[in-house]
Amino acid sequence: MCNGLYEWASILPDLFTRGHPVYFVYAQDLNKGDSSSGFFGKPGPKNLDPLWDRFKKAVPQPPVDFTPMVQDRFGFIVEKSSVIAREMVGRLERFLSKKKIKALLVSGSTDFNFYVVKQYCRKKNIRVLSWQHGAEWFNKRMSQRNDLLNLVSSDSMLVYGDAVKNGYNSSPLAKEEKCQLVSVGMPSLKELRTISPAAPKKEMRIIWPYGGYYKNWWYSGFTPPRSDTVYYQEQMVILQNILELTRKYKQISVTVKLYHSAAFNPPWVNELANREKIRIVIEKPSFVELLPQHDLVIVDSPTTTLLQAVATQLPVFVLMSVIRWPDEAISLLRKRAYCADRAAELMQALNRFLENGTPSFEVTNQEFLRQYGAHDGHGKETALSLTEAILNDHSI
């Protein structure tokens, strides 16, 4: 098991009880040397040729040539990646020499360290099973380049639903990588199905999960590209409406669930400090732990929190102007939640709902969730069966 458990946690107890020991390794811990730190300036031509020429030919030429901006970084990667890989492989060799490993279980292969571990295991005939971590969809390309991160160097990829599977199959990499795609779902959603608004409705407890600004630390993984500026502007519309609602209705309270790191806190959060009927949660409890304590959800950055919200029976209001799903996904989602392209429209719909209590959607509709989150509801059993097939006879 490499790095976080995530959905694999649903089957690990069964693997233990059926006699399959599980060892845990953290990919970044295998890269303990200082070879990846520091910067050694612009490498000479001998460090770059022929890879630099191949790289430039592979990149479509934009109106402005940006290659000089990345040449130093490219040289750094060329110079250091092989050194880092050798160090990591050495540590893997020492660890695996004492164990008889049949499979590597991973969730979300996000960096070079992951790639080295996965590729090494495949070279050693150890099957690599990846399980989707977080919401994914195809909109001209897989969201957040997950096809590159997950298909490459994986033997099997477990996904949340058939729409996700079809998205991976639409990727150009699907033709190059021999990776089996299996729809299994997201077992952790199952326990959320019983969450519904409190009755009788003496109060309306609203939860608003904040998705975090991406700043300049994250690549543009969405189509169209995400804008922190647009996100901030839309948040201000939501914030002003929420503040007005708490003044207008004494039974309305709001929980703002922030990102787990204070470094990502929005600039407006300090304005909410000590406000009556406004609760700020940074790290604990988690969004999932907070859901049973609330009656309505506002999702302004529809990623994994969207899947978790619509898995409940709570009314959900979704903003699609910051991160936009494909049209076919939104059509399904509208049957379960209210979707709007602008925050002003979303708040108008929210206000109407609070006044008359009649939603334009069905809180029990699962069409969207089956395609992008829960599949057939038997994800744990399917994943366990696939994993055991490999552990028992090294084949599926």
Q: Which domains does the chain have, with CATH numbers?
A: 6-188+376-393 (3.40.50), 190-372 (3.40.50.2000)
pLDDT for 108 beyond 80 = no
Which residue's structure tokens are 């996700």? 164
Residues 272-282: what's their mean pLDDT?
89
Tally of CA atoms within 13 A in the half-sphere of 112 that contains its CB: 14
Residues 252-269: what's their mean pLDDT?
84
Rg (CA), the chain: 23
pLDDT for 304 beyond 90 = yes
pLDDT of 36: 41
Alpha carbons 77 and 327: distance in angstroms, whole number: 38
Categorize the per-residue pLDDT at 262 as very low, low, confident or very high, splitting at 50, 70 and 90: low
pLDDT for 338 beyond 60 = yes
Alpha carbons 58 and 55: distance in angstroms, whole number: 5
Residues 222-242: what's their mean pLDDT?
91
Alpha carbons 187 and 160: distance in angstroms, whole number: 9
pLDDT for 215 beyond 50 = yes
pLDDT for 273 beyond 50 = yes
How large is the angle between the packed helices 343-356 and 228-248, nearest 10 degrees? 20
Evaluated on CA atoms 100, 106, 112, 113, the torsion sign reads negative
pLDDT of 44: 47
pLDDT for 17 beyond 90 = yes
User: Which tokens hold the place of 126?
Assistant: 């150890």
Categorize the per-residue pLDDT at 386 as very low, low, confident or very high, splitting at 50, 70 and 90: very high
Alpha carbons 122 and 98: distance in angstroms, whole number: 18
pLDDT for 40 beyond 90 = no
Residues 6 or more apart from 335 whose CB is under 8 A from it?
361, 362, 365, 367, 368
User: Which one, of 154, 147, 129, 114, lies nearest residue 30 by Cα?
Assistant: 114
Of the listed ranges 66-80, 146-160, 306-320, the one predicted with least confidence? 66-80
pLDDT for 375 beyond 80 = yes
Average pLDDT, the chain: 88
pLDDT for 210 beyond 70 = yes
Categorize the per-residue pLDDT at 263 as very low, low, confident or very high, splitting at 50, 70 and 90: low
To the nearest whole percent, how much of the chain has pLDDT over 70? Answer: 92
